[in-house]
Chains A and B, each alone.
Chain A
Amino acid sequence: MRPYLVLFFIILISCSDDNFNKVESLGDFRVLAIVATPPEVGPGGGNVDLQLYVSDVKSGGRSFTGTTVSCLDPGISSGASVSCDHDPTRQTGSYTIDTTAGDPSGNLSTGLNTDILPVIVPGQLLSGRSARDKFNGVGYITIFTFNVDGKVVKVLKRINITSRNDLNFNPASSSLELNGAVFSGTPQKNDSLSVSSTDQETYSYQNVDNSTEVLQEKYKVAFFASSGELDLPKADVGEKSKFTKGLDSGQFVIISVVRDERGGVEIIRVP
């Protein structure tokens, strides 16, 4: 328990330095989300397409290639390092970012990258695992690594392998609103962004004491903007995030990434 209390006191006394880069600010190259289609597969494995949603506002558009490696999750949620070095059957590949073409082009280099990484999730990965692992699922991870502007950008995506019959799907019915109405115009200071969504699924989850409970997805929203600042860059569905600093004049882009906390993701971009 001590780590949580220590963490709490650190937060209490420090709570976000104003001079740090804002999490919602788009500028340097960033991966905002990875879309897996589908986000979950059955015990027999399957083919999953991974596509990166990127932002590279400052560059004005460019192309570069990074590496990929896919493997069984080494136990990241239990503290293992993000790496595939433990898995001799890991799959390696490459992935090209191009913000001059396709979706990112013309949107301040921010959008769904055109390259698709096909990942073959092997079958039989659940064999030998506990009943709880089989039910809740184990992860098959892909790590993308890029060297950009002298910095290493490393991104992780999990594909969940589960014996549950009802597999998860990506949310698809969310809408981005400005001041509670359909988004239009250019947001000003004190205007509020929010996301409405209706398709939160229910699913079963097995606890460590083997009791099973039915949970409902709670979508989480991350807002990003090419300029301006938000008071609540991470919010719940329906929760308003206010611009504490308005957008700069001229072209802008605003992104909302909706996550279902089970690997499913939906992205809305304006304009």
Chain B
Amino acid sequence: MYLFLSLLALAHSAFAGSLLERGTRTPIGDANIFVLPMKLKAVSNANGIFSFPQITGEDCDIIVNLSGYGKYEKSLKCADVNTMTIFLEKKFYKNFETTVTGKVNKRDDQGQSLTQEEFLMAPGSFGGDPVRAAQNLPGVAQNGGSAQIIVQGASPDDTGYLINGHRVPLVFHFGGLSSVIIPQAVERVELLPSGYGPEYSRAIGGIIGLTTKEPRTDRLHGMAFVDLLNTGALIEGPIDEKSSFLAAGRYSYIGQVLKAVAKENENFELTAAPTYYDFTTIYSRKLNATNTLKATFVASKDELELIFNKSPANDPELRGDFYNRTEFFRFIPQVTTELSGKTKMENSLGIGRDSILVNIAGRYLEVESNVLSQRSEIVHEWSGTSKSYFGLDNQISVDEVRVNLPNSYSVGGVGNPFSVGENKKFDSNGTEILLGAYLRQELKPSQDSRWTYLPNVRVDHFSTTQETFLQPRFQLRYQWDPTLLLRGTWGLYAQPPQPQETSRDYGNKKIRSPYAIHYTTGFTKDFRNGETNGFEVTNNYFFKELKDLVFPSVEKNYENSGTGTILGSEIQAKYRKDAWAGQFVYTYLDSKRNIPGFGTQPSEFDQTHNLNLIGSYTLERWTFGGRFRFVTGNPYTPITGATFDSDNDVYIPTRGQIYSQRFEAFNQLDVRVDRKVIYDRWILTYYIDVLNIMNSKNSQNIEYSYDYSQKKKVRGLPILPTIGVKGEF
């Protein structure tokens, strides 16, 4: 198209050209191009094409001076030039410039989301990982390098992970450093911590959702990067006038690094270096005037194998081969249909397979699941004051499970050594059906009313427990003025038990589903008055009652014996001033559990104070960012003694009051520096992201001697830098 226009322009003029943004080659329209001293002026069209009908004289200066761009000035002999391409360099470039981020369709006021531009720049996100960046959001706990997300003091098992609305088994690769999709293929990450709407369920703690991006349609774009942990590439662009594609992949060689580090370790040898890779493709097509198709394919695999030459002193059974493989894929076709100006429908499927294999010295767990999930939603705007959403959210999984493991009873984070548990070996096949339907209503008393009422309801049926839950979820908004939104929610949330809890052979068939009642209130105040600079403050208060929580039981393996409460408040204050941006994020939390026989105590994930201070500064092609975290130490259960089990040659620890002690407060400073080099047709970015630059020695666990008479705190992540380079066009 450009070529055609250029030729067309040439045919009718002596001098023509195109005006493009340097690095991205984005056409710049509506810009004045001057030729001096002839005092000629041309205006570029939407495709950046411009032309001059006739230029007389030999020497001339071409000048373009456009707001937001550096001034372009070039002297040449006009008589010798028929065509030229002018590249204008922007004053500020985004992190991943070749991506246009979509507008966030935010339904839940309690929820938080990060766009690609935000998470790619987030310090401490280890190269812009969306889920690691989401840990900067209020309510998300410091997880000590775990591969799970802990939301508002709930258990990690209470958080649901979604890709385009469909459940996936995990969101992080091995060790929690990186999420399962290459960041540049993600449009946004959403956190729905409490009081969320009826669209989602089966997670009493919260939801982490990743939404893949729409591939670009203007031209072919590409990106490749390499850093200390992994390498990856992405390509996207139009196929024809109606369709576009994106393909991206990533491979981690973190294992090779670990293998080199572990070479001298006598305790274990890595036989297969831990590694992960993932692959994402997205295909988008405008089917006709009303229907649009977006099909996403995501595949992820993690693998690790090592040999323990020496068992830990307090558990001699843990010796020999260890192998762990986790892989899954999802194919998610979505069709969006504009039925009318006021009615929209979206249908999607999630077709996939999950596979987990863990082998510990001949003991194993193997799970193979074929999963089909389905979501449908129809939205109709009845009038300016009434809007309805009706949706279905169903899932069926056919599971094959092979187990050969000892009983893993553990309360208060203290379990018996592997050697002591009664071994259980069985194969099990089953089908789990989860059915869900919801109705969301947005009602305003009148067009100009400040009130919005959302009387929502959801129904879920879980086949494993044969339970049906009617879950009313009410939301209320009051728009005090255009800058201040007040809100409140109340709702019921149920989730099916974990598979091992209802297993006939390993759990208890009579287990019921745990559920929670969420109460939230809060406000958002925007002090910016429509400007970019200024303050924006969000403040939420939440209270959750947790019922029928499943805890281990000596007699019945598991029982619905637990209850809990989570009380908290969170504040997020964002400030932007020209090249400066900063955030103050603080969460206060009081998360308690009551287990019969053990009393009431803090939950394992109770972090009373969680403070994040985040800042960034952009100076021309440099961006500097930093994040400081201060978090109350996690509770732990002291071990007060041990009994020598003379049959198993191991000591059985004696628990003290569960979760009665805490680790020292966690503090960590992360910094990130990006430097861009802009070439005419591509952009090169160097970056360094350093986790824990102060090398703070944060205790994350306790290691005990063979008889539990001596102990040592195990430190978390030491200073961990990653240096990378990224090229994009």
Contacts and interface: CB of A to CB of B under 8 A. Distances in A.
Contact of B647 (A8, A9, A263): A263
Contacts, number: 160
A11 interface: yes
Interface stretch (A57-65, A112-120, A154-162): A154-162
B106 interface: no
B365 interface: yes
B643 A75 contact: no
A75 B705 CA distance: 25
Interface string A1-45: 111111111111111110111110000001101100000000000
B425 A79 contact: no
B557 A34 contact: no
B107 interface: no
Given A11-B308, A17-B703, A156 B643 contact: yes
B649 interface: yes
Given A11-B308, A78-B407, A31 B644 contact: yes
Interface stretch (B33-41, B55-63, B565-573, B708-716): B708-716
Interface string A215-235: 000001010000000011110
B415 A156 contact: no
Contact of B322 (A8, A31, A157): A8
B409 A79 contact: yes
A76 B409 CA distance: 10
A75 B555 contact: yes
A152 B310 CA distance: 29
A220 B505 CA distance: 28
B313 A23 contact: yes
Contacts of A147: none
Contact of B554 (A5, A30, A80, A233): A80
Which among B306, B424, B557, B705 has the highest number of chain A CB atoms within 10 Å? B705
Given A5-B358, A16-B310, A157 B426 contact: no
Interface in B668-705: 701, 703, 705
B413 to A, nearest CB: 9
Given A20-B710, A143-B643, A231 B420 contact: no
A223 to B, nearest CB: 11
A254 B709 CA distance: 23
Nearest to A234: B316
A153 B358 CA distance: 36
Given A16-B267, A152-B641, A259-B649, A77 B420 contact: yes
Nearest to A157: B646
Interface string B645-682: 11111001011000000000000000000000000000
Contact of A3 (B415, B701, B709): B415
Contacts of A22: 313
Given A4-B405, A16-B310, A155-B644, A222 B649 contact: yes
A231 B157 CA distance: 39
A82 interface: yes
Contact of A79 (B311, B411, B506): B411
A15 to B, nearest CB: 4
B589 interface: no
B587 to A, nearest CB: 24
A33 B645 CA distance: 9
A154 B643 contact: yes
Given A10-B703, A15-B265, A5 B324 contact: yes
B575 interface: no
Nearest to B655: A81
Contacts of A2: 156-157
A74 interface: yes
B324 to A, nearest CB: 7
A74 B557 CA distance: 14
B422 interface: yes
Interface in A158-172: 158
B578 interface: no
Contacts of A20: 313, 705-706, 710, 712
A261 B710 CA distance: 27
A173 interface: no
A79 B554 contact: yes
Contacts of B316: 220, 222, 234
B102 interface: no
A79 B552 contact: yes
Interface string B423-447: 0111100000000000000000000
Contact of A11 (B318, B365, B411, B554): B318
B500 interface: yes
Nearest to A233: B313
Given A21-B709, A21-B710, A75-B555, A15 B268 contact: yes
Interface in B139-171: 146, 156-157
Contact of A16 (B312, B360, B365): B312
Given A2-B156, A79-B407, A79-B552, 11 more contacts: A17-B710, A19-B710, A75-B554, A79-B416, A80-B554, A81-B655, A82-B654, A154-B642, A157-B646, A220-B316, A234-B649
Task: Please provide the 4 A-B residue pairs with the shortest distance between their CB atoms, ordered closest to farther.
Answer: A79-B409, A20-B705, A15-B267, A234-B316
Interface of B: 146, 156-157, 175, 265-268, 306, 308-313, 316, 318-319, 322, 324, 356, 358, 360, 365, 405-411, 415-416, 418, 420-422, 424-427, 500, 505-506, 552, 554-555, 557, 641-649, 652, 654-655, 701, 703, 705-707, 709-710, 712, 714
18 contacts: A4-B408, A4-B418, A11-B308, A15-B265, A16-B703, A20-B706, A21-B707, A75-B554, A76-B416, A81-B654, A82-B645, A82-B652, A151-B709, A156-B647, A208-B426, A231-B266, A234-B649, A259-B647
